[in-house]
């Protein structure tokens, strides 16, 4: 387990017990101004504990991507704050990685798979052997063994998406934000990748915030699921997933608890729309 401590950590009002590492408080984001202003996020607050796996679900266009961009420091919120380990985020923090929804456009088309994964590692000042080992491990875990010397245009959409995931894994961040990362892979690969994420979390103690529109996936992966409303977006409900930590694609999804949670979230998503 991870034993680092944060000197400036303060418990928050949202949750006194949890050791929260990411706090979103009163976040609001409006695009544009005047008559054409779009309130993408109305008022969103929640937190993520250290080494927690939190999934975010919500209707399409409710501002999930916007939320991740604000949390990663790519965008300044119109109001409210994002705090990482107690410090306000005002730019991309070093220990954070983000897998973009627009995966194909987040890969450098002039670099091979290896080049794309290696690029962020340059600042890590690893030895060549360490770096190659990390790349190999990441590529293997997303099932792209043998494709390291291919260029993105030689890969299918799903494969490109996995390159973007491998790049984030090799970076070994403390905090990993993922925006619908499995949207264009087939069902079997998707199940495999879900298990990869669980293993990565267990092995490296990464804190993961995972946006998805697939409720099964959210319940299967998460410790807690944040359900967002339609625009102007706020948190509708935070559902705690009390499933055992060791999960399995077949047996976990068979349990009554799983079915119940799934139905609950499904209703929660539908209700604001109705």
Partner 1 sequence: MNRRRIGLILEIAVPLLVVAALILWSAGSTSFYFPPVTDMLVTFEQTWLFDRFGSDVLPSLYRLAAGYAIATVVGVAAGVVIGSVPLAARAAEPIVEFLRAIPPPALIPFGILVLGIGDTMKIFVIAVVCLWPVLLNTVDGIRGLDPTLTATARIYGITGRDRLTRVVLPGTGPQIVAGMRTGLSLALIMTVVSELVASTNGVGYFVLQSQRDFAIPQMWSGIILLGVLGYLLNAALGLVERRVLAWHRHATESAR
Ligand X SMILES: Nc1ncnc2c1ncn2[C@@H]1O[C@H](COP(=O)(O)OP(=O)(O)OP(=O)(O)O)[C@@H](O)[C@H]1O
Structure tokens at 193: 């990748």
Site for Mg ion in 189-208 (CB under 5 A): none
Give strand pairing partners of 239. 225
Among partner 1, ligand X, Mg ion, none, the one that 66 touches (CB under a kind-dependent 5 to 8 A) is ligand X
Applying CB under 5 A, does 184 fall inside the site for Mg ion?
no
CB distance 190 to 33 below 8 Å: no
CB distance 150 to 113 below 8 Å: yes
Among partner 1, Mg ion, ligand X, none, the one that 42 touches (CB under a kind-dependent 5 to 8 A) is none
Q: Which is nearer to ligand X, 184 or 255 (CB)?
A: 184
Q: What is residue 121's DSSP assignment?
A: G
Site for Mg ion in 96-125 (CB under 5 A): 101
Assign 3-state DSSP to the chain and report helix, strand, coil percentages, each to 5: 40, 25, 40
Q: Which is nearer to partner 1, 99 or 221 (CB)?
A: 99
Report the distance separating Cα 227 and Cα 239, nearest Å: 8
Among ligand X, partner 1, Mg ion, none, the one that 157 touches (CB under a kind-dependent 5 to 8 A) is none
- Which of 96-108 are b and which e, b meaning 16 or more Cβ less than 10 Å from the residue's Cβ? bbbbbbebbebbe
Q: At which residue do the structure tokens 């080992």 appear? A: 133
Q: Which is nearer to ligand X, 207 or 233 (CB)?
A: 233
The residue whose Cβ lies closest to Mg ion is 65
Residues recorded for the chain = 274
Q: Exposed, middle or buried by CB within 10 Å (0-12, 13-18, 19+), for 143?
A: middle
Smallest distance, partner 1 to C-beta of residue 7, A: 23
- Which of 30-68 are b and which e, b meaning 16 or more Cβ less than 10 Å from the residue's Cβ? eeeeeeeeebbbbebbbbbbbbbbbbbbbbeebbbbbbb
Applying CB under 5 A, does 72 fall inside the site for Mg ion?
no
Q: Which is nearer to partner 1, 100 or 258 (CB)?
A: 100
Bridge-based pairing of strands 96-99 and 20-31 is unpaired
Q: What is residue 16's DSSP assignment?
A: S
Smallest distance, partner 1 to C-beta of residue 76, A: 13
Smallest distance, ligand X to C-beta of residue 266, A: 16
How many residues belong to the site for Mg ion (CB under 5 A)? Answer: 3
Smallest distance, partner 1 to C-beta of residue 174, A: 14
**Which positions lie near partner 1, rule CB under 8 A?**
69, 72, 74, 91-92, 94, 96-98, 100, 102, 105-106, 108-111, 119-120, 122-123, 151-154, 167, 171
Smallest distance, Mg ion to C-beta of residue 64, A: 5
Q: What is the CA radius of gyration of the chain?
A: 19
Q: What is residue 89's DSSP assignment?
A: P
Smallest distance, Mg ion to C-beta of residue 113, A: 24
**Which positions lie near ligand X, rule CB under 6 A?**
31-32, 38, 40, 60-66, 101
Q: Which residues bind Mg ion (CB under 5 A)?
A: 64-65, 101
């Amino acid at each position: 387990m991870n034993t680092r401590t944060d000197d400036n950590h303060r418990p928050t009002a949202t949750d006194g017990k949890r050791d929260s590492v990411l706090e979103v408080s009163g976040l609001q984001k409006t695009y544009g101004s005047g008559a054409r202003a779009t309130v993408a996020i109305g008022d969103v607050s929640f937190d993520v504990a250290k080494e927690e796996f939190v999934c975010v679900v919500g209707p399409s266009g409710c501002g999930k991507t916007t939320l991740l961009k604000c949390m990663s420091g790519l965008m300044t919120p119109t109001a409210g704050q994002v705090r990482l380990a107690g410090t306000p985020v005002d730019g991309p923090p070093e220990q954070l990685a983000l897998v973009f929804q627009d995966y194909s456009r987040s890969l450098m088309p002039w670099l091979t798979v290896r080049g794309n994964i290696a690029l962020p590692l340059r600042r890590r000042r690893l030895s060549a052997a360490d770096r190659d080992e990390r790349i190999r491990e990441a590529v293997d875990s997303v099932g792209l063994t043998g494709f390291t010397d291919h260029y993105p245009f030689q890969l299918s959409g799903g494969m490109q998406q996995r390159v973007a995931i491998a790049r984030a894994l090799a970076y070994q961040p403390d905090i990993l934000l993922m925006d619908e990362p499995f949207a264009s892979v087939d069902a079997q690969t998707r199940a495999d990748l879900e298990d990869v994420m669980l293993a990565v979390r267990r092995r490296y103690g990464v804190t993961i915030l995972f946006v998805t529109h697939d409720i099964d996936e959210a319940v299967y992966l998460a410790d807690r699921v944040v359900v967002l409303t339609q625009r102007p977006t706020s948190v509708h409900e935070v559902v705690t997933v009390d499933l055992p930590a060791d999960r399995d694609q077949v047996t976990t999804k068979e349990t009554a608890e799983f079915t119940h949670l799934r139905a609950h979230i499904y209703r929660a998503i539908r209700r604001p729309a109705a």
